[in-house]
Amino acid sequence: MLHAQLTEFACPALTVAGSDTIRTVAARMTQAAGRAALVLDASGNLQGVVTDMDLRTRVLAAGLEPTTPVGDIMTSQPLVVDASETASAALLLMARRNIRHILVRLADGSFGIVSAFDLLRQYDYNAAWLIGDIHVAADVATLSRLSQHLPSALVRMVQNGTPAHDIAHSLSLVGQEIVHRLLTLAENRFGEPPIPYAFIVAGSMGRHEQTIHTDQDNAMILDDSFVAELHDGYFQQVAHFVSDGLAACGYVYCPGNIMASNPQWRQPLHVWREYFRQWIDTPEPQALVNATIFFDLRCTYGDDSLWLRLRDDLLGRSRNSSLFQRLLAENAQTFQPPLNFWGGLASERNANGEKVIDLKKRGVVPVIDLARVYALAHGLPPVNTVERLQALAEAGALNRADVGELLEALEVISRLRLQHQARQVLAGVKPDNALPLASLSALERNHLKGACKVVARLQQGMFRVYRSGG
């Protein structure tokens, strides 16, 4: 990011008059959450700059009266650079002059301001910083801009050797915080909700297993006091605001329209209970498709008790339905590890003729499906795959040694997937899940093959357990 031009980093600068009092300027800086302000003369010409450091060292430490004109403490003739200057050059200038802020002359002749902190944070923008900034984002445009840091955050975590499980969890928390902030902004715009509701995320975000950006899967559980004529107009507005906001942040609209903006997935609790009753008690092919999405739910905003009541109901039903368990296990055979008849890695050709393996469909999905089948069959509440497997081991539903091997296999597959996506980000290519076999070292190929054999063995074991109804 440090090779980028300053125009990408410059923020609009707060402007004050030299005759304004220090107290007035400090209050305006606080209100604008700014660390500096430009001081202009009566004709709008730049006189100087005042920073939060000036307020500490030249006012508080010096015992200066807050009624003093800010022009008395400003830095005259501040350093100004052109917006086409690079971030790295600006940092070098600030280091040489021992300053923390630099003014940027924009194309329209106005000034922006950049701090060394901002530039360094852009260079090392981690998930924690992102979540903090997302939490206070003022609008969708700001959220969209912040979400653009996700690919570089992924690259840094991969380069730092962060475990794949932790990377996915961090990226999911960023996505979850975007959803939370969008809902806060929606309520600020449309008013307080007329009845309690829970906003639910599903799929990879629900499992805390996201990579960079995925499509959005979400829903609303409304309180049973819901009356469509009185309440649905409000929730429709909120749902569309959130869905459009997520799309602006790179989370594309769900191709299957599984979003709260679809009235089918914006229903009171008793309707959701009936959905799950039908899916579990009288399962059909579509019910099994829904199971891969709606059995991996997480409440990210609103009245969590609505979701917890639904969850307890569905777990009780899934635990007691041997037919549902058997069909779910059969459906989990759709995606199998990429092994050929001789135990080697099986690949397919991409559009460029390269031999590739889809590490999502044929790598992590078989483990996700396996953990889901066992967890639902035993009525266990975790939705994250690692947590499901650990809970299954604790409950004695799976052998601890098998779970240990499966967790190691999942980490190997997930790490190779994320490393592949990080390389694509650095190359300026849209990330995908198709890992070229040629990119693997001999050691990586052996590790992947061993991981796939573990998954295949335990997948077949699951099928044998539930083939006859558990």
Over residues 426-441, the pLDDT tens digits come to 999 999 999 999 999 9
Residue carrying structure tokens 């915080």 = 177
Could you tell me which residues are beta bridge partners of residue 50? 37
Contacts of residues 160-164 at CB distance under 8 Å and 24 or more positions apart, as own/partner, are 163/411, 163/415, 164/410, 164/411, 164/414, 164/415, 164/417, 164/418
Q: CA 227 to CA 467: how far, in whole Å?
A: 44
pLDDT on residue 4: 63
Which residues of the chain carry a pLDDT beneath 50? 1
Q: What are the Cα distances from residue 154, in Å, to 90, 149, 168, 425? A: 26, 9, 9, 9
pLDDT on residue 468: 59
Return phi, psi of residue 431, to 5°: -65, 145
Q: Which helix (H) or strand (E) holds 174?
A: helix 164-190
SS3 70: helix
SS3 222: strand
Q: CA 34 to CA 32: how far, in whole Å?
A: 5
pLDDT on residue 35: 81
pLDDT on residue 50: 92
| Beta-sheet strands, E only, within 273-322 | 298-302
Q: Which helix (H) or strand (E) holds 200?
A: strand 197-201
Per the structure block, which two tokens stand in for 51?
Answer: 């920073």
Q: CA 402 to CA 131: how far, in whole Å?
A: 36
Q: CA 334 to CA 365: how far, in whole Å?
A: 10
Over residues 382-413, the pLDDT tens digits come to 999 999 999 999 999 999 999 999 999 999 99
Q: CA 417 to CA 411: how far, in whole Å?
A: 10
Return phi, psi of residue 381, to 5°: -80, -25
Q: Let me know how long the chain is.
A: 470
> Which amino acid makes up residue 434?
A
pLDDT on residue 120: 66
Q: CA 71 to CA 319: how far, in whole Å?
A: 73
Residues 6+ apart with CB under 8 A from 39: 15, 16, 17, 18, 46, 47, 48, 49, 50, 70, 71, 74
Could you tell me which residues are beta bridge partners of residue 39? 16, 48
Q: CA 314 to CA 92: how far, in whole Å?
A: 59
Q: Would strands 197-201 and 298-302 be described as parallel, antiparallel, or unpaired?
A: antiparallel
Q: CA 115 to CA 70: how far, in whole Å?
A: 20
